[in-house]
Structure 1
Amino acid sequence: MAAVDEDGSRPRDAGGGWRARATGLLERVTTAGAGRAAATAFLIRVASAVLAYAMQIVLARWMGRSEFGIYVYVWTWTLVIGDLAHFGLAYSVQRFIPEYTQAQAHDRLRGLLRAAPWFVFLASTAVAALGVAGVQAFAPWIDRAEIIPFYLAFATLPFYALNNLVDGIARTYNWVNLALVPPYILRPLLIVLVALAAPLAGFAPDAASGMGAALIATWLTTTVQLVVLRHRLARVVAPGPRAYDPRHWAKVSAPILLVFGFYSLFIYTDVIVLQLLRPSAEVATYFAAVKTLAPVAFVSFAVLAAVAHRFAEHHVSGAIDEQRRLLAQSVRGTFWLSVGAIAVLLPLGWPMLRLFGPGFEEGYPLLFILAAGLIIRASVGPAERLLNMAGEQQRCTLIYAAAFAANLTACLVLIPTWHMYGAAMAVCFGMTVEAALLYRTVRRRLGLHAFVFFTPKAA
């Protein structure tokens, strides 16, 4: 299922005081202030969901279904490659920063914070150059309407990869606003403004103009993030000598890269395969259905924003009881908040899809299939992040390789017959494989239960 980047809609009460219970769950997700970070992240993502969902509607109506489908396809490739172009460093910093801070290895901390942005920018620029060369080489086999959008996507890539790095650093320091506001509030707003202004400059309302707007918005917002991050780091990290340990960084980052590489392929496979086998208009309809359920994924995102670095801290310090308590609370919070969000969104799905334009309501049955997969996945909470922060990156790699293979196989088998409904069924199957393997691995490797109905109460 295409992961959320900038979408969603506003949750409402599902009756019976659901909002009060949800707030209570979210506040108890973590200890020592992490619940506040989770609540902040959740509120930012909900606010961004309203704005971004409106953005998708505006772009769909502005471009039309076919061009919007091309835009979705190319932007999905940007997300896939952008999640790989930093070579795992955007994720591993969430492990290195607590490790160096607790060990008072301030020289290594300063070296990491200085070198990481330069490495990510240069590495992702090299990846983008290879991508441009690949488009040129395969141009005869690529739809002509996709070529210019692909060039613009690769121009976006270095700044998108930098955004991932800034996000990881900022969340580790609990600077949730810095991590989330620029990409999830400012970027979608700028995309809409630039896209709507494009015809005034003589550009057609098509996928190329949409990707051009995404390029400008990503450059601007990431630049703002970098400037603010540098200013804040100067206040919390004292100046002094720097030490660099690139071998250690690479050794830790490489397995994490494989984990999130397979994860990105897993969650974006449906859109990519659907575009290869079906018309762009159908991709647009499927994408609109996925985005209608995007707030469900925001629940998991909010929890991860608070617990990822705390998993690392508890692992480094050997605080097993705290780790067990944190896992129990995060699994329960993720599951029940996800169920509540789905209960709200399913009745609203039909009118929400109609907002995209004529024909988009055909995707309403997809919501029920996709919702089943989301509930299954939510039942194990942030299990994959726990494994990564506990040094089990290789196990996570195998899990997501298996989930990706299951999803890809199911897409290739089901989409030719069931079309976009086959893509949704493939996603549900892949999420079931993912959840089962995550639970089994956490139980065997860490001795913990990462399942909502079997998670023991903290001692």
Structure 2
Amino acid sequence: MDGSTPGPRHVLTRTVLALGLKGGIVAAGFGMQIILARTLGPEGLGVYATFLSLATVLSITGGFGMPMAAVRFMPVYIANGQETRLRGFVHAAQRLTLATAIPVALAFSLVFLSLPALREQFGAALAAAALIPVFGLATLAAGMLQALGQPLRADVLVNLARTLLIGMFVLLSWWFDQAGPVTALWLTGLAGLVAWAAANTAARRSMPAGAAGPRTQDERPIWISAGMTFVLAMASVSLIERLDTIMLGALVGAEAAGIYSVASRLALTVALATTSVLALMAPALARQAAARDRAGLQRSASIAVALALLLSLGVAAVLGGASPWLLPAFGRDFEAAAMPLAILLVGQVAVAACGSAGGLLALAGLNRPLIAAALAAVILDMALCLLLVPVFGPVGAACATVATLLAQAVALSAVAWRSLGVDPTLLGAVRLAWRSLRPDAGHEGTP
């Protein structure tokens, strides 16, 4: 494998296929969310969404950043024929995930057990704690499949299968009159466990040299260092995406959090366009970053932002237009999510126009700016939520999320330009396209 940039037509074709699959995942997610909303009600859904958000964020911490590390290191080892390092990384990544996820889960559950004010929610906390190692391992398996050039299979096995299983399990619990937020959390863990088993088996069977054989872990300190950086960056993005729901539940109430969680989940569908493109481009970006191919990085980043923005606009337009009919499907109370949804949709499109600077910096191994941006974004989001949520409720939560995501995206794009000489934003794509149309474009060595 070389480090060449996939052509726009190739990326567009695979991205359309990926989005077709993700469309199925989104449809399944809508169905699952409707089932949860109808069976749990706004308040029960708020409890479920709040603890699921906490478990998701903590599973990134427990995962120790190994899913992104897999995307960074595995394509390089495969391209260079370093099979022993490849096997060593996979073995170490799984052990690191378990070694961090289990203590995080125990600490989380102990907090609710030891504090009298939180003890009544210990049942939900215990179920959420069980999700942390399961989600960590499943995300790692998905990252391995992505690094092996199989992002569509990762989506099918981890996202689609898990979503369908959750919906089926919750329906069965309702049929047997056992539906509730705690039960739904335990069933989510069971679905995640099945999805991890399938994805992990597929990843091991797809490794060039197989899972067995000698292993080399001489780069383990580098993997750990990268993982610590990735976990901060990934956790900050995940926390920012879910802190609004968590803060609404804490400051306003579970019912408001449940209604808002529907708008948040729908809006995150727009981000699938960016993640779909990045998932397809990540192996090439990792190789280009390792080869210090600045021109290749710029071409790849420009293709990615152009396609991501185009697809984001389409998804946002469909969701915005369908919202008057879509939201009532969750129940009459969920029509109140219309305004937060509109704000979040506009914000996600604006973020898409800023490009995937965070992923680019992570793959290039630029750790310090990612850490700084992650910490600053979390602090900003918490401050804005504390300021806006008590006054404006769900609308304030949506504004806080959009402002934070935009500030982080702009900051990381500026860092990518200064550190790599690459402009991952829409402006960079336009500039590159303009230069390619100039008569002397073929004589320029850099974009």
Q: Same fold by TM-score, threshold 0.5 exceeded?
A: yes
Any runs of at least 4 consecutive aligned residues in structure 1 with deviations exceeding 6 A, and if so which? Answer: none
1:150 and 2:134 correspond: no
Q: CA deviation at 1:450?
A: 2.1
Match of 2:27 in 1: 50
Q: CA deviation at 1:439?
A: 2.1
User: 1:223-242 maps to which residues of 2 (within 5 A)?
Assistant: 223-233=197-207, 236-237=209-210, 240-242=213-215
**Counterpart Cα distance in 2 of 1:91 and 1:317:** 19
1:173 and 2:148 correspond: yes
User: 1:235-384 maps to which residues of 2 (within 5 A)?
Assistant: 236-237=209-210, 240-245=213-218, 246-384=220-358
**Counterpart Cα distance in 2 of 1:64 and 1:361:** 14
Asked whether the equivalents of residues 170 and 179 of structure 1 are also in contact (C-alpha less than 8 Å), the reply is yes
Q: CA deviation at 1:75?
A: 0.5
Q: In structure 1, give the amino acid aligned to 2:164.
A: L
Q: CA deviation at 1:202?
A: 5.3
Secondary structure of the residue aligned to 1:329 is helix
1:117 and 2:90 correspond: no
Asked whether the equivalents of residues 204 and 211 of structure 2 are also in contact (C-alpha less than 8 Å), the reply is no
1:161 and 2:161 correspond: no
Q: CA deviation at 1:350?
A: 1.8
1:434 and 2:411 correspond: no
Asked whether the equivalents of residues 39 and 302 of structure 1 are also in contact (C-alpha less than 8 Å), the reply is no
* Aligned-pair identity (%): 24
Asked whether the equivalents of residues 355 and 413 of structure 2 are also in contact (C-alpha less than 8 Å), the reply is no
Match of 1:62 in 2: 39
Q: In structure 1, give the amino acid aligned to 2:33.
A: Q
Secondary structure of the residue aligned to 2:405 is helix
Match of 1:79 in 2: 56
1:105 and 2:79 correspond: no
Q: CA deviation at 1:34?
A: 4.7
Q: CA deviation at 1:113?
A: 1.9
- Tell me the C-alpha RMSD between the 2 structures: 2.0
When structure 1 is superposed on structure 2, of 109-118 and 186-195 the one drifting more is 109-118
Match of 2:376 in 1: 402
Structure 2 CA distance for partners of 1:401 and 1:199, relative to 1, 3 Å = same
Residue deviations 1:373-422 (CA, integer Å, cap 9, x gap): 11221111211111111121221221222222221111100111101111
Asked whether the equivalents of residues 90 and 165 of structure 1 are also in contact (C-alpha less than 8 Å), the reply is yes
Q: In structure 2, give the amino acid aligned to 1:304.
A: L
Q: In structure 1, give the amino acid aligned to 2:91.
A: R
Q: What TM-score results when the alignment is normalised by the length of structure 2?
A: 0.90
Asked whether the equivalents of residues 170 and 229 of structure 1 are also in contact (C-alpha less than 8 Å), the reply is yes
**Counterpart Cα distance in 1 of 2:103 and 2:12:** 39
Structure 1: gaps of 5 or more residues? 1-27
**Counterpart Cα distance in 2 of 1:289 and 1:267:** 12
Match of 2:445 in 1: none
- Structure 1 counterpart of 2:117, from 124, 133, 141: 141
Match of 1:24 in 2: none
Q: CA deviation at 1:178?
A: 2.8
1:444 and 2:430 correspond: no
**Counterpart Cα distance in 2 of 1:158 and 1:368:** 34
Residue deviations 1:62-84 (CA, integer Å, cap 9, x gap): 11111111000010011100111
**Counterpart Cα distance in 2 of 1:124 and 1:89:** 12
Asked whether the equivalents of residues 110 and 243 of structure 1 are also in contact (C-alpha less than 8 Å), the reply is yes
**Counterpart Cα distance in 2 of 1:400 and 1:30:** 32
- More helix by percentage: 2
Query: How many residues in Structure 1 have an aligned counterpart in Structure 2?
Result: 428
Structure 2: gaps of 5 or more residues? 437-447
Q: In structure 2, give the amino acid aligned to 1:69.
A: G
**Counterpart Cα distance in 1 of 2:79 and 2:128:** 39
